[in-house]
């Protein structure tokens, strides 16, 4: 590899050609503060507008200070990162940012995790020299995401995520000069935009400009209400990431501690969304087999490929962007929304609690789940099947509020009957996992044979778009997988053009799948964290005694006692849904 | 803007689609398309931007990002007689700001506004290249040079038809 | 042109057009037709003659008679007297302000004497909508020479040797820029003409485009040949409809003549040009922002490198030059590098076009050899300060430039000298200011412009310039402190050092140069709460001089807020707490009794 030699702060350094000063310095133990820059390694995208000017350094023979993030190391370059000129400039830049930033850190949800706050603290800024007008925008509270753009520093990270990575296009830089800010079209609320609530913008926002709707207060009130029975379900991806919030290494599996913590917080029953994931496989797998069967019998009207429908951001995405294809995704509800009606119709009766007194809470790696809870089709007479959802980050915060020493918690199991799950359900948390889980069941149901090799390694991985052909005892089944909505769009366009001969496609909106969800502990683009969560997910699967959804004894019992058969009438009523065309422009044509 | 709700006529939508088609519906042509659209409608209401975005397969947020960036584009309808005051340096040092003040007073509107009767709208621009006539104001296609605040009333009177 | 006995050229510059030159043209044509002279007399709308102060201008060739201040109703007399009877219309001739003599030939006017027209060589001498006239004046000769007798490298060498530097403002050597682009290896490259002239108070590029569009078309083709590009784009302000119209005609005609398109002049070289419209963003004059705008994006600049020569329009190597730079190219090719480099100073060759405006007698478009002093421009070409007022400053370089004072007037105009004096060459705006101009207010004016035009991408420009404006606003309102002055200076330096693009990096210049040259004035505003120019409303009051006041009551009757009281034939007084400082009283007083304190 070609390298260049340069001097940074009197230190001789050799780095690969093309390395930025910022990365060269960091790799050599020289700290340069930065703000807008974000390297999203796992997506091969760098947010590098070079615009905040916090990382400026002095490069010999250059007239102006150079942004370290956007300046490439050249042979013989002499760089100073800590001269007086640099320190003054940086400090002034941060002061300017603060001069147009509400100083309400005490009440800010990002306090303690805010990169601007960190910079101010680091530089010891105690007062703002240049006071003046402050930007003032209307606060926008969507069901999932809160935009408080008075706190926007124009780092453009959210814009990069929303446009380049997710191709959702809900956000753009608008206006110019002092009025420039990132916003949806016409500066309307997110609810009126094509936002999918994937939350990837929130996951990268350095300040409190984009945060999730916080349901912890609501939860604490419900827990304190003696008339209510509060139960909880927790998603597969939560258990491989929550530990990070308590200083544990990425990829630590904390399932047992998680169950204990939830119990200590006061949930009456601690259940697992994984149970509902197994149920999803039963419904979705059956639907796949039904469609496949018709197709193989020569019915050309049948809609294939079938697409997974577990991811609410993905559902929002195709409702907005591909409404013409909305009869293709499986009608099966997501695990969260299967858990809800089972809890409120089956479990509530079992324990003799009135539906209205049962509060179902979910812990999700996701922000779109908050929106999903509130969808009208998931309510009965206005009562939501799942009352509300908390993100992994909110749960961590809650655990800290309860003074629980998480690291020292003993392990415990989830409660029966909605807490039992298989390895197939665990892998729902990672890209490729849902389709692998479906295949484990579909294979056996389709072929009537026992699946010898449970691990479909060909479906695993972190590449953006993957495909594999599985052999269902002589029948080739072609599978497509995409994670990240930008990649999903590519597959969808192929489907729309009829250039796609897949039988099944799995889509997860967030890069990496739910393990990289918008509600997870912030990973700041560190691909090692994503990989560790990914590996932990499959590790958990491997250690499960049962690894195929249809073998989950409680699922078998549920069908026997309550539902009847997969895709049967009651299932159809409780566990399936319909999709809407949300692309309609709001224009009246005379 | 949500508060200026307009309804587009079907033939206007057709015109707009034709404009987009004439530029091959290419995303890179969005600025040219916006110019043409503003030529047709006089301004760029949200609905027009939505249709352009749909035709060019780009997010409407991006279109709005562009419209709100360039001062030539406007989302507000202009008056029947749009008035622009040159605030280029040459006009400024020859007192164009006083002309602007006088216009604001006479019309009772701010820069960017339109009179209640829709007759006049007021905007500023930077240098029209008529520095020899500074200060300069433009009403419609007519340029008025060497304007003094005292002349403003009489000039406006010409348009009180 | 030769086939007509007389050619009547009407100035089609914006200034003259604003004063009804189109109607003059129409009337002249009607008169010529009425007199059955169509075969002998051609009436055309030419490009800008430059002497805007005296517009509308009509020039009659071949005797080169220069009529000023022509009105539409003068058409009849001009045809009847000058054309038919051969007698010059004395009352429409230019009168020398000193000798009071009538001058009929522009060569003898002070305004033109010291000028040297290279970039503007054809402006005002031909019909810009007729390619034959351009060709008859040597148009497209250079393109032919380059394509048939020179290799791209030879041509680049000529441009390098000529010493031509970018006329957009920064002054980067044009030949070197072309060389970079030519060395970039790519199957597709682009030539871009930056015609997004946005400097408030500058209209050089517009005049060239309107007066001599073919020179730009020709130069772009030459550039394309040199760097290996087949595609040219002109990024032009949408606010320049006439320039757009004429460019469209020029491009169409050049295609018809085989001077654009495939296989130009049978040499196998292909080149074509399309127009892209700007939409009102000053920052798009910055080349990376311009490129993003052409691509259909917000015109936000990006960090260089990569330079456009490596990765520009659609990520392809792109050479961006401004209009005036291109206008110099053909003549450099035909007359040679040595001829061009003999004009000007050691490091700045050739000429520079300026839009001379402000408080000056001869407002207009001028072109002078590099090295001409500011004094020569202001006093000889410009005819001195208007209304006999005292010269205070001359501003060059627009919002990126600075204000120079009396002590700088002998500075020769070239890139280095102007920079050393604390300003910049810039694109060519030159605004003269007199004693009535408050320099703090002028600094605020430019900062206001920058705040309006900042793209908002980088922190120093988005927030820093806003803060500078706020401090200046405070000072002009009499609320400034000495600490504000220190902060202003400090902030200006940091913005210069940290802003992302050229716009931001130069935006503090008007403030810094006025702080340097007019420190006393700033201090007066802050400490004495006084504005000596009487421009800062909050720092002045209107007062009635009782010695001059005749008690005519005019002021009291006109005052919009009834702040003036007094009895008839007795001196009046102004109630300061009611006065809104609109200046109405001063403008209506016939006895100069109203004074600004």
DSSP letters of B21-82? Answer: HHTTT-GGGHHHHHHHHHHHHSS--HHHHHHHHHHHTS-HHHHHHHHTT-TT--SSPPPSEE
Residues of C in contact with A52 (CB under 8 A): 458-459
Q: Is A372 a catalytic residue?
A: yes
How high is the pLDDT of residue C239? Answer: 83
Q: Closest Cα of chain C to B128: distance in Å?
A: 7
Residues of A in contact with B1 (CB under 8 A): 186
CA proximity to C223, closest of C253, C195, C202, C193:
C193
B129 close to C (CB below 8 A): yes
Interface test with C, best of A47, A73, A74, A132 (most C CBs within 10 A): A132
Nearest to B89 among C281, C364, C395 (CB): C395
| A530 has pLDDT over 60 | yes
Asked if B9 lies within 8 A of A589 by C-beta distance, the reply is: yes
Nearest to A171 among B46, B53, B61 (CB): B61
Q: Is A287 a catalytic residue?
A: yes
Chain B residue nearest residue A178, CA to CA: B69
The C-alpha atoms of residue C318 and residue C307 are separated, in whole angstroms, by: 9
The C-alpha atoms of residue C259 and residue C254 are separated, in whole angstroms, by: 5
Residues of C in contact with B127 (CB under 8 A): 199-203
> What does CATH list as the number for C131-340?
3.40.50.11540
Asked if A170 lies within 8 A of B59 by C-beta distance, the reply is: yes
For chain B, the domains span 10-67, 81-157
How high is the pLDDT of residue B6? Answer: 52
Q: Which one has a higher pLDDT value, A41 or A564?
A: A564
Asked if A65 lies within 8 A of C452 by C-beta distance, the reply is: no
Class of domain C6-113: alpha beta
How high is the pLDDT of residue C16? Answer: 86
How high is the pLDDT of residue C301? Answer: 96
Catalytic residue among A110, A257, A344, A369: A369
Going residue by residue through chain C, which has 597 residues, state the pLDDT in tens, using 9 for 90 and above: 457 889 999 998 878 888 888 899 999 999 999 999 989 999 988 888 889 889 899 999 888 899 999 999 999 999 999 999 989 999 999 999 888 999 988 888 999 989 999 999 999 888 899 999 999 999 999 999 999 999 999 999 999 999 999 998 889 999 999 999 999 999 999 999 999 988 887 889 999 999 999 999 999 999 999 999 999 999 998 888 889 999 999 999 999 999 999 999 999 999 999 999 999 899 999 999 999 999 999 999 999 889 999 999 999 999 999 999 999 999 999 999 999 999 999 999 999 999 999 999 999 999 999 999 999 999 999 999 998 999 999 999 888 899 999 999 999 999 999 999 989 998 888 999 999 899 999 999 999 999 999 999 999 999 999 999 999 999 999 999 999 999 999 999 999 999 999 999 999 999 999 999 999 999 999 999 999 988 888 888 889 999 999 999 999 998 888 899 999 999 999 998 888 887 888 888 999 999 887
Residues of A in contact with B60 (CB under 8 A): 169, 185
The C-alpha atoms of residue B85 and residue C153 are separated, in whole angstroms, by: 48
Residues of A in contact with B63 (CB under 8 A): 185
The C-alpha atoms of residue B132 and residue C21 are separated, in whole angstroms, by: 14
| A585 has pLDDT over 70 | no
Nearest to C456 among A50, A88, A179 (CB): A179
Asked if B127 lies within 8 A of C278 by C-beta distance, the reply is: no
Domain C439-528: CATH architecture, name and number where available: Up-down Bundle (1.20)
Catalytic residue among A108, A198, A310, A439: A310
Q: Quick one: DSSP state of residue C538? A: G
How high is the pLDDT of residue A410? Answer: 98
| B1 has pLDDT over 70 | no
How high is the pLDDT of residue B143? Answer: 85
ipTM: 0.93
How high is the pLDDT of residue C169? Answer: 80
pLDDT in tens, C548-567: 999 999 999 988 888 999 99
CB burial readout C506-516, b (16+ within 10 A) else e: bbbbbbbbbbe
Nearest to C200 among B29, B73, B126 (CB): B126
How high is the pLDDT of residue B132? Answer: 80
> What does CATH list as the number for C351-434?
3.10.20.600
Segment holding A12, helix H or strand E: strand A11-16
Catalytic residue among A58, A212, A372, A540: A372
Residue A503 Cα distances to A296, A548, B156, C357, angstroms: 11, 21, 71, 73
How high is the pLDDT of residue A460? Answer: 95
Chain A residue nearest residue B63, CA to CA: A185
Q: Quick one: DSSP state of residue C300? A: -
Chain C (345-374) residues lying within 8 Å, Cβ to Cβ, of chain B: 355, 357-359, 363-364
Q: How far apart are the first and last CA of chain A?
A: 64
Residue C473 Cα distances to B110, C440, C445, C467, angstroms: 20, 9, 10, 10
Residues of C in contact with B101 (CB under 8 A): 582
Residues of C in contact with B71 (CB under 8 A): 279-281, 452
Asked if B133 lies within 8 A of C239 by C-beta distance, the reply is: no
Mean pLDDT of chain B: 88
B52 close to A (CB below 8 A): no
A185 close to C (CB below 8 A): no
| A387 has pLDDT over 50 | yes
Chain A residue nearest residue B45, CA to CA: A186
Cα-to-chain-centroid distance, residue B135: 20
Domains of chain A: 3-82 (3.10.20.740), 97-212 (3.30.70.20), 272-354+407-575 (3.40.950.10)
Asked if A175 lies within 8 A of C281 by C-beta distance, the reply is: no
Mean local confidence (pLDDT), B110-130: 87
Q: Closest Cα of chain B to C564: distance in Å?
A: 19
How high is the pLDDT of residue C2? Answer: 54
Mean local confidence (pLDDT), B107-120: 90
| B5 has pLDDT over 50 | no
φ and ψ at residue A508, rounded to 5 degrees: -125, 135
Residue C211 Cα distances to B130, C14, C365, angstroms: 15, 11, 12
Q: Is A73 a catalytic residue?
A: no
> What does CATH list as the number for C541-596?
3.30.70.20
The C-alpha atoms of residue B74 and residue C44 are separated, in whole angstroms, by: 36
How high is the pLDDT of residue A385? Answer: 97
Q: Is A514 a catalytic residue?
A: yes
Residues of B in contact with A174 (CB under 8 A): 61, 64-65, 68-69
Chain B (59-78) residues lying within 8 Å, Cβ to Cβ, of chain A: 59-65, 68-69
User: For chain C, what is the radius of gyration of the CA atoms?
Assistant: 26
CATH of B81-157, one of 1.10.1270.20, 3.40.30.10, 1.10.3720.10, 2.40.37.10: 3.40.30.10
Chain C (531-560) residues lying within 8 Å, Cβ to Cβ, of chain B: none
Q: Closest Cα of chain B to C186: distance in Å?
A: 21
A–C interface: beta-carbon pairs under 8 A: 104
The C-alpha atoms of residue C200 and residue C445 are separated, in whole angstroms, by: 11
φ and ψ at residue B92, rounded to 5 degrees: -60, -50
C479 close to A (CB below 8 A): no
| B2 has pLDDT over 50 | no
Q: Closest Cα of chain C to B2: distance in Å?
A: 23
For chain C, the domains span 6-113, 131-340, 351-434, 439-528, 541-596
| A354 has pLDDT over 70 | yes
How high is the pLDDT of residue B125? Answer: 84
Residue appearing with tokens 């479909």: A456
| B3 has pLDDT over 80 | no
pLDDT in tens, A93-146: 999 999 999 989 999 999 999 999 999 999 999 999 999 999 999 999 999 999
The C-alpha atoms of residue A392 and residue A401 are separated, in whole angstroms, by: 14
Asked if C19 lies within 8 A of B133 by C-beta distance, the reply is: yes
B–C interface: beta-carbon pairs under 8 A: 135
């Amino acid at each position: 590899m070609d390298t260049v030699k340069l001097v940074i702060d009197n230190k001789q350094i050799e780095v690969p050609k093309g390395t930025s000063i910022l990365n060269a310095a960091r790799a050599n133990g020289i700290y340069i503060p930065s703000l807008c820059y974000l390297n999203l390694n796992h997506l091969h995208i760098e947010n590098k507008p070079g615009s905040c000017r916090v990382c400026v350094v002095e490069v010999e023979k250059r007239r102006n200070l150079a942004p370290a993030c956007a300046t490439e190391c050249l042979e013989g370059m002499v760089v100073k990162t800590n001269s007086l000129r640099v320190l003054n400039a940086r400090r002034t830049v941060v002061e300017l940012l603060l001069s147009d930033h509400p100083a309400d850190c005490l009440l800010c949800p990002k306090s303690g995790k805010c990169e601007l706050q960190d910079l101010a603290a680091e530089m010891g800024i105690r007062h703002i020299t240049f006071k003046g007008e402050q930007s003032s925008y209307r606060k926008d509270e969507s069901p999932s995401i809160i935009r408080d753009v008075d706190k926007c520093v124009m780092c453009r990270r959210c814009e990069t995520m929303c446009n380049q990575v997710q191709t959702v296009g809900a956000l753009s830089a608008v206006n110019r000069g002092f009025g420039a800010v990132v916003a949806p079209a016409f500066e309307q609320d997110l609810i009126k935009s094509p936002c999918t609530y994937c939350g990837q913008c929130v996951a990268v926002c350095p300040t409190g400009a984009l945060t999730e709707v916080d349901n912890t207060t609501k939860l604490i009130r419900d827990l304190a209400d003696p008339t209510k029975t509060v139960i909880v379900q927790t998603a597969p991806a939560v258990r491989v990431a929550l530990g990070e919030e308590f200083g544990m290494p990425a990829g630590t599996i904390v399932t047992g501690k998680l169950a204990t913590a939830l119990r200590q917080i006061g949930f009456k029953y601690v259940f697992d969304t994984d149970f509902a994931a197994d149920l999803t496989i039963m419904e979705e797998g059956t639907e796949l087999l039904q469609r496949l069967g018709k197709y193989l019998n020569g019915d050309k009207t049948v809609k294939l490929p079938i697409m997974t429908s577990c991811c609410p951001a993905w559902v929002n995405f195709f409702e907005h962007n591909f409404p013409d294809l909305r009869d293709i995704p499986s009608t099966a509800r997501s695990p969260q929304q299967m858990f809800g009606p089972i809890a409120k119709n089956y479990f509530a009766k079992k324990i003799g609690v009135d539906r209205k007194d049962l509060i179902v809470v979910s812990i999700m790696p996701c922000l779109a789940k908050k929106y999903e809870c509130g969808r009208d089709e998931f309510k009965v007479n206005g009562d939501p099947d799942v009352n509300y959802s908390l993100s992994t980050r909110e749960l961590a915060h809650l655990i800290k509020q309860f003074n629980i020493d998480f690291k020292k918690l003993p392990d415990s199991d989830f409660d029966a009957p909605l807490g039992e799950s298989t390895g197939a359900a665990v892998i729902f948390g990672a890209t490729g996992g849902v389709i692998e889980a479906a295949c484990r069941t579909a294979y056996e149901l389709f072929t009537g044979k026992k699946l010898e090799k449970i691990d479909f390694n060909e479906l695993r991985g972190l590449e953006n778009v993957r495909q594999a052909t599985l052999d269902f005892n002589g029948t080739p089944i072609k599978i497509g997988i995409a994670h990240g909505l930008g990649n999903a769009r590519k597959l969808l366009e192929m489907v729309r053009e009829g250039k796609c001969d897949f039988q099944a496609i799995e889509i997860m909106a967030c890069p990496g799948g739910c393990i990289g969800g918008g509600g997870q502990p912030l990973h700041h683009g560190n691909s090692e964290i994503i990989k560790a969560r990914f590996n932990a997910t499959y590790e958990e699967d491997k250690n499960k005694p049962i690894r195929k959804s249809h073998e989950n004894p409680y699922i078998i019992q549920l069908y026997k006692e309550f539902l009847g058969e997969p895709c049967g009438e009651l299932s159809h009523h409780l566990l399936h849904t319909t999709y809407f065309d949300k692309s309609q422009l709001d224009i009246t044509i005379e | 803007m949500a508060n200026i709700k307009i309804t587009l006529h079907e033939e206007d939508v057709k015109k707009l689609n034709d404009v987009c088609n004439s530029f091959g519906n290419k995303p890179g042509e969005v600025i040219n398309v916006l110019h043409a659209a503003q030529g047709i409608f006089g301004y760029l209401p949200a609905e027009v931007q939505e249709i352009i975005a749909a035709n060019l397969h780009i997010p409407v947020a991006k279109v709005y990002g562009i419209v709100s960036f360039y001062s030539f584009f406007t989302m507000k309808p202009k008056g029947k007689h749009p008035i622009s005051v040159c605030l280029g340096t040459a006009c400024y040092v020859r007192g164009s700001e006083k002309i602007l003040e006088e216009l604001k007073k006479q019309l009772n509107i701010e820069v960017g506004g339109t009179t209640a009767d829709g007759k006049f709208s007021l905007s500023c621009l930077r240098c029209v290249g008529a520095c020899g006539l500074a200060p300069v104001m433009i009403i419609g296609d007519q340029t008025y040079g060497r304007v003094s605040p005292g002349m403003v009333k009489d000039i406006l009177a010409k348009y009180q038809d | 042109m030769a086939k007509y006995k007389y050619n009547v050229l009407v100035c089609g510059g914006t200034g003259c057009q604003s004063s009804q030159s189109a109607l003059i043209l129409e009337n002249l044509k009607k008169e010529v037709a009425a007199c059955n002279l169509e075969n002998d007399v051609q009436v055309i709308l030419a490009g800008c003659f430059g002497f805007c102060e005296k517009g509308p201008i009509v020039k009659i060739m071949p005797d080169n008679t220069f009529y000023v201040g022509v009105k539409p109703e003068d058409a009849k007399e001009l045809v009847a007297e000058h054309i038919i009877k051969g007698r010059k219309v004395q009352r429409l001739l230019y009168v020398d302000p000193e000798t009071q003599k009538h001058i009929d030939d522009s060569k003898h006017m002070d305004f033109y004497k010291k000028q040297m027209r290279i970039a503007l060589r054809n402006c005002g001498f031909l019909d810009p909508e007729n390619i034959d006239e351009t060709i008859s004046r040597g148009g497209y000769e250079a393109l032919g020479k380059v394509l048939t007798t020179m290799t791209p490298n030879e041509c680049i060498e000529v441009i390098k040797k000529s010493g031509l530097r970018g006329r957009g403002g920064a002054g980067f050597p044009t030949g070197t820029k072309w060389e970079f682009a030519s060395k970039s290896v790519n199957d597709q490259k682009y030539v871009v003409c930056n015609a997004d002239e946005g400097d408030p108070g500058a209209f050089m590029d517009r005049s060239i485009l309107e007066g001599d569009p073919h020179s730009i078309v020709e130069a772009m083709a030459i550039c394309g040949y040199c760097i290996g590009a087949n595609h040219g784009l002109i990024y032009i302000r949408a606010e320049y409809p006439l320039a757009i119209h004429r460019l469209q005609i020029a491009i169409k005609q050049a295609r018809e003549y085989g001077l654009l398109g495939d296989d130009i002049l049978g040499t196998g070289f292909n080149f074509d040009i399309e127009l892209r419209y700007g939409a009102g963003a000053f920052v798009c004059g910055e080349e990376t922002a311009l490129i993003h705008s052409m691509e259909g994006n917000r015109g936000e600049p990006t960090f260089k490198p990569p330079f456009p020569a490596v990765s520009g329009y659609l990520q392809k190597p792109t050479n961006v030059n401004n209009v005036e730079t291109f206008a110099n190219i053909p003549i450099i090719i035909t007359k040679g590098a040595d001829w061009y480099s003999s004009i000007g100073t050691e490091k700045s060759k050739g000429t520079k076009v300026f839009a001379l405006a402000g408080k000056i007698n001869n407002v207009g478009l001028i072109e002078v050899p590099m090295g001409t002093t500011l004094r020569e421009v202001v006093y000889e070409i410009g005819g001195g300060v208007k209304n006999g007022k005292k010269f205070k400053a001359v501003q060059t370089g627009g919002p990126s430039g600075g204000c120079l004072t009396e002590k700088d007037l002998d500075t020769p105009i070239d890139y280095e000298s102007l920079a050393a004096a604390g300003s910049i060459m810039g694109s060519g705006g030159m605004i003269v200011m007199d004693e009535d101009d408050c320099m703090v207010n002028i600094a605020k004016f430019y900062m206001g412009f920058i705040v309006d035009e900042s793209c908002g991408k980088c922190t120093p420009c988005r927030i820093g310039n806003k803060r500078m404006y706020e401090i200046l606003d405070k000072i002009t309102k009499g609320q400034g402190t000495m600490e504000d002055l220190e902060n202003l200076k400090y902030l200006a330096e940091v913005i210069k050092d940290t802003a992302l693009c050229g716009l931001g990096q130069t935006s503090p210049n008007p403030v810094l140069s006025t702080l340097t040259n007019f420190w006393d004035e700033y201090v007066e505003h802050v400490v004495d709460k006084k504005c000596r120019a009487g421009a800062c409303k909050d720092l002045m009051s209107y007062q009635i001089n009782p010695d001059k006041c005749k008690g005519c009551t005019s002021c009291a009757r006109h005052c919009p807020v009834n702040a003036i009281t007094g009895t008839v034939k007795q001196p009046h007084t102004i109630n300061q707490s009611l006065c809104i400082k609109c200046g109405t009283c001063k403008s209506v007083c016939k006895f100069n009794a109203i004074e600004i304190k």
